[in-house]
Amino acid sequence: MLTTRSVSGSSQSPRSPSSQPYLSVSVTDPVKLGNGVQAYISYRVITKTNFPEYQGPEKIVIRRYSDFVWLRDRLFEKYKGVFIPPLPEKSAVEKFRFSAEFIEMRRQALDVFVNRIASHHELQQSEDLRTFLQADEETMERLRFHETGIFKKKPADLMQIFKDVQSKVSDVVLGKEKPVEESNPEYEKLKHYIFELENHLAEAQKHAYRLVKRHRELGQSLSDFGKAAKLLGACEGDALGKAFTELGAKSEALSIRLQKEAHQLLMNFEEPLKDYVRAVQSIKATIAERANAFRQQCELAETIKLKEINLEKLMLTRSDRVGEAEHEYKGLKAEGEEASRRFETMVRLMNEEIVRFQEQKTTDMGIAFHEFAKGQARLANSIADAWRSLLPKLETCSSA
């Protein structure tokens, strides 16, 4: 189902006569292309919008995972202080990489990723997002492989760079390195909250995974038992044989129900939890960027102070190097002021982002846990009804 997200984040139909701006993106139709190690999955990305900056009301392009990585890294580099939505991990295990379930999980996660960007009040204005949603495949390929600096690296290298940045935050925040750090109670509170949240989400996701596994194992056991019961029924005659056959049929039907519920549990409960673990890791990367920005600001301030002292000494001695030193001092001072502005902007954005993140998390987690509870209730009722329907026939057999 296509969801349209307006600038305010609300949903509306693309065909609505309202003039409310909207930007809707769908990631659909995954297709495997190529063979062996060169194989990859392509996706159809459909954009519907009335934003004047776009080429038209609808655009369809073909994208692959590395294109999404390109977009994520461009945004991470340009929007300091903004929590860039996370991407799903890239599976290194060949047998899982092209399984139907993995491909659907990946498609769903990529859809969430790009719609979070499209509904973000700042990120949706990004030129890189417009390029991603509109450029042809040849243009995207050139952009991936011919950018300068960090973007010239291969997608695998980009992923590693991002993971390295994420891992460094532990050293910076936990004090394994000893840079100058902010003495800001709100910032300390934010760091503590993010680290605690990551631990709790990871623990919940781990147990959600176990629930999925348990449902699948129980479903398989019921399937095996159903086959055995039907074979047993074939050996018996009359009422007993019929009862065993029906018992086997019910077991197999419940097995199918459990497997379906396991899949729903995976997609609608475990995956959202996993997505928020990734989101927290993205926030930690932004915290690392803030720590670096603060350190650079402090180092510049210290350098400026030393240059100022040196300039005063030169002026007192009427050195012929005063002009050069003064020019250098003014340049550094301007650089320091720019670093302070960048840091203040980052702090302001992070304060706004954490509020937005918490509101979105409350909504998303509420939906996930509600769907989990509804699914478990439906499953329990189905199982109880199935066994209950067999009781009269089994009671008749046992009393015969």
Rounded CA Rg of the chain: 29
Nearest Cα to 342, choosing from 77, 73, 76, 81? 81
- Domain residue ranges of the chain, discontinuous segments joined by +: 20-74+92-136, 185-399
- Cα separation, 306 vs 332, in Å, equals 11
| Greatest mean pLDDT range, 89-98, 150-159, 181-190, 197-206 | 197-206
Residues contacting 262, CB < 8 A, separation 6+: 212, 215, 216, 219
Tokens of 160: 């590693």
Nearest Cα to 368, choosing from 245, 258, 275? 275
In degrees and rounded to multiples of 5, residue 215 shows phi and psi of: -60, -45
Enter the DSSP assignment of 32.
E
pLDDT at 316: 87
| Greatest mean pLDDT range, 19-28, 33-42, 140-149, 201-210 | 201-210
pLDDT at 92: 56
Task: Tell me if 101 sits within 8 A of 60, measured CB to CB.
Answer: no
pLDDT at 164: 55
Residues contacting 362, CB < 8 A, separation 6+: none
Pairing outcome for strands 40-49 and 58-64:
antiparallel
pLDDT at 139: 93
pLDDT at 230: 93
Angle between the N-to-C axes of helices 127-134 and 65-78, in degrees from 0 to 180, rounded to the nearest 10: 170
Span 376-400, mean pLDDT?
88
- Is the full-model pTM beyond 0.75? yes
Q: Is the pLDDT of residue 157 over 70?
A: no
pLDDT at 325: 87
Residue 263's pLDDT band (cuts 50, 70, 90): very high
Looking at per-residue confidence, does 269 or 17 come out higher?
269
Tokens of 162: 């991002």
CA 117, 122, 125, 129 dihedral sign is negative
Pairing outcome for strands 5-6 and 40-49:
unpaired
pLDDT digit string, tens, across residues 209-239: 999 999 999 999 999 999 999 999 988 878 8
Looking at per-residue confidence, does 32 or 154 come out higher?
32
pLDDT digit string, tens, across residues 285-336: 999 999 999 999 999 999 999 988 988 888 888 888 888 888 998 999 999 9
Looking at per-residue confidence, does 12 or 344 come out higher?
344
Looking at per-residue confidence, does 239 or 173 come out higher?
239
In degrees and rounded to multiples of 5, residue 339 shows phi and psi of: -65, -40
Task: Tell me if 103 sits within 8 A of 41, measured CB to CB.
Answer: yes
Nearest Cα to 286, choosing from 72, 9, 91, 132? 72
Owner of token pair 């934003």: 51
Length of the chain: 400
Mean pLDDT of the chain: 86
Span 40-50, mean pLDDT?
95
Which amino acid appears at position 282 of this protein?
S
Residues contacting 135, CB < 8 A, separation 6+: 61, 143
Name the strand (E) or helix (H) holding 187.
helix 185-235
pLDDT digit string, tens, across residues 74-111: 999 999 999 999 999 876 555 567 888 999 999 999 99
- Cα separation, 49 vs 125, in Å, equals 13
pLDDT at 13: 43
pLDDT at 318: 82
Q: Is the pLDDT of residue 18 over 70?
A: no
Q: Is the pLDDT of residue 14 over 50?
A: no
Q: Is the pLDDT of residue 17 over 80?
A: no
- Give domain 185-399's CATH number out of 3.40.50.800, 3.40.50.300, 1.20.1270.60, 3.40.718.10: 1.20.1270.60
Nearest Cα to 88, choosing from 164, 159, 12, 165? 159
In degrees and rounded to multiples of 5, residue 45 shows phi and psi of: -110, 115
Three-class SS of residue 253?
A: helix
Give CATH for domain 20-74+92-136: 3.30.1520.10
Residue 3's pLDDT band (cuts 50, 70, 90): very low
